[in-house]
Amino acid sequence: MPGFEIFGEEEKKEIMDVLDTGVLFRYEFIEQRKGIFKVKEFESKFAHYCGASYAQAVTSGTAALKVALTALGVGPGDEVITQGFTFVATWEAIFEVGAIPVFTEIDTTLNMDPEDLKKKITSRTKCIIPVHMLGAQARVKEITAIASAHGIPVLEDTAQAAGGRIDGRHLGTFGKCGTFSFDSVKTMTTGEGGMIITDDQELWQTMSEYQDHGHDHAVNPGGRGGESRRFIGFNYRMMELQGAIGIAQLAKLDSMISAQQENKSILKNAADKISGVTFRSLVDQQGDSATFFAFSLQDREHCKRVNDSLRNDGVGAINFAENSWHFYPQWEHLLEDKSATGSGYPFFEPGGKKRVVYDPKELPQSAELLGKTLVYPVSIKMGSELLDTMCRALEKAGSV
C-alpha cells in the first residue's frame, strides 16, 4: 500500500496550483480560484477511471462508508451484513448510522463467503458490504446476485483495492455504490481522504448534499448563502490540497499496481516451493491490485513453524488471525460492548436493553483459514536485496 513511496514533482505541481490561488475550500471563491477546482477535477477523473457515472469525495474512507449508508437510507432498526475479516472502520460506520453489523465468514478468497451470506440475510437486512480485502476481489458477482434476489443494495468497501478489477471492470462498480480510502497507507493516498462512486444520480445527489451540511449546491443569485436544504447533513468535505494530491496519485495508480504485481509474482514463485502451500483464491488474477501476498500452510501448527523460520531470517509475515484491527475475535471493544456513551449505545438502548450480542466463536471457518495463512505487504519499491532475502527465507521455510 505504497502511494507515499512515489511522491514527486507531479504532486508538488498540483499542490502549488492550489497554494497559488490561496483557496483551500472546494466550493465558492469563484473570483480568487481562477478556475481551479481540484476536488471536483479529482472526482471527475476518479469516476472516469473506474467507469462510474458519479464520484463524491469525502474526508476519509470511514466517512465514505457513513455517507454512502446514510444516502442508502440505512438507520436504526436495520441490519447491515459485512465480513468478519475487515478493518474496524467498516462496522464502525454501520454503528455510526444507528444500524447493527452482522458478520459473515470468509472463504478462500479471504473475503465474504456467499454461502454464509445467504444464511445471515433477514427481513431487517438493509445493505450488504463485501470488502475487497488485501487488494483482491470478493466474489462480488455472486454476492450482488444474492442481494438483488432479496432487493438489498450492495455497497463495496473498496478501501484496500483501488484499481482492482474483475475482467476489466473496476471493483466498486458492481454494487449500488463503492467506497474508497486514500489514507496514508493505502495504494493511492491523499494523506486522509475517501471517495464514493455510483451510477445512480439520485444517490450521488443525496451524498453530495449530506457531506456538506445539506447544501443543495444549486446555482442561485445568493451564492452559497442562498442554497437550500432538503435534510440535515454533516461536514465530510474534502479540501483542495487533498484533491490536488489525488489527481497526481490517480495518474500513477496503474503503474503502481503493475510494479506490485511484479514483486508479488517473485514472492509467489519462491513460496510455491513450500510443501503443502496453497494460495489465496483470486476471482481474477489479472485484476488483483497486488497490495498483499497471502499464502496458506497445511494447518495452524505448520503455519507457526514456517513463520518462526521466516522471523529467524528477519522477514516474519503477518498472521491476521492475531491482528486486533482486522479480525472479529480480536475486536475486544466490540465483543465486550465498550462504548464512550453514557447509555452504552450502540450496544445498549438508552433504557438499558441490550441491542446486540457478539459471540467470539461465531466465525470458525474464518478462524481456521486465517489461522493457517501468512501475509506479506507488497509495495512498489521493495528492492532486489529485500526480495532476495525474502525469497531465500521462503525457500528455507519450505522444509520446516
Ligand X SMILES: *Cc1c(COP(=O)(O)O)cnc(C)c1O
Binding residues vs ligand X (CB under 6 A): 60-62, 86-87, 89-90, 131, 157, 159-160, 181, 183, 194
Question: What is the side-by-side order of every strand in the sheet holding 278-279?
Answer: 278-279, 292-296, 373-377
Helix (H, G, I), strand (E, B) or coil at 157: strand
Between CA 398 and CA 364 the distance in angstroms is 27
Place of cell 436544504: 229
Least separation, in Å, of the C-beta of 87 and ligand X? 4
Select which of 38, 66, 126, 186 is catalytic: 186
Q: Choose among 149, 143, 168: nearest CA to 157.
A: 143
Q: Choose among 178, 207, 251, 235: nearest CA to 56.
A: 207
Q: Which is nearer to ligand X, 87 or 103 (CB)?
A: 87
Least separation, in Å, of the C-beta of 34 and ligand X? 30
Least separation, in Å, of the C-beta of 323 and ligand X? 12
The CA-CA-CA angle for residues 333, 368, 87, to 5°, reads: 40
Yes or no: say if 113 and 105 are a contact pair by the CB < 8 Å rule: yes
Least separation, in Å, of the C-beta of 190 and ligand X? 9
The CA-CA-CA angle for residues 174, 321, 281, to 5°, reads: 40
- Assigned C-alpha cell, 346: 450502540
Least separation, in Å, of the C-beta of 111 and ligand X? 10
Helix (H, G, I), strand (E, B) or coil at 109: coil
Helix (H) or strand (E) holding 127: strand 125-129
Q: Which is nearer to ligand X, 205 or 323 (CB)?
A: 323
Q: Which is nearer to ligand X, 33 or 280 (CB)?
A: 280
- Assigned C-alpha cell, 150: 432479496
Q: Which is nearer to ligand X, 83 or 173 (CB)?
A: 83
Least separation, in Å, of the C-beta of 160 and ligand X? 4
Least separation, in Å, of the C-beta of 345 and ligand X? 22
Helix (H, G, I), strand (E, B) or coil at 181: strand
- Measured from the Cβ of residue 372, the count of other Cβ atoms closer than 10 Å reads 22
Q: Which is nearer to ligand X, 89 or 106 (CB)?
A: 89
Q: Which is nearer to ligand X, 11 or 192 (CB)?
A: 192
186 is catalytic: yes
Between CA 53 and CA 158 the distance in angstroms is 17
Query: What are the DSSP calls for 225-246, one per residue?
Result: GG--BSS---B-PPPHHHHHHH
Query: Residue 360, exposed/middle/buried by CB under 10 A (0-12, 13-18, 19+)?
Result: middle
Q: Which is nearer to ligand X, 33 or 186 (CB)?
A: 186
- Measured from the Cβ of residue 204, the count of other Cβ atoms closer than 10 Å reads 22
Active site (catalytic) residues: 186
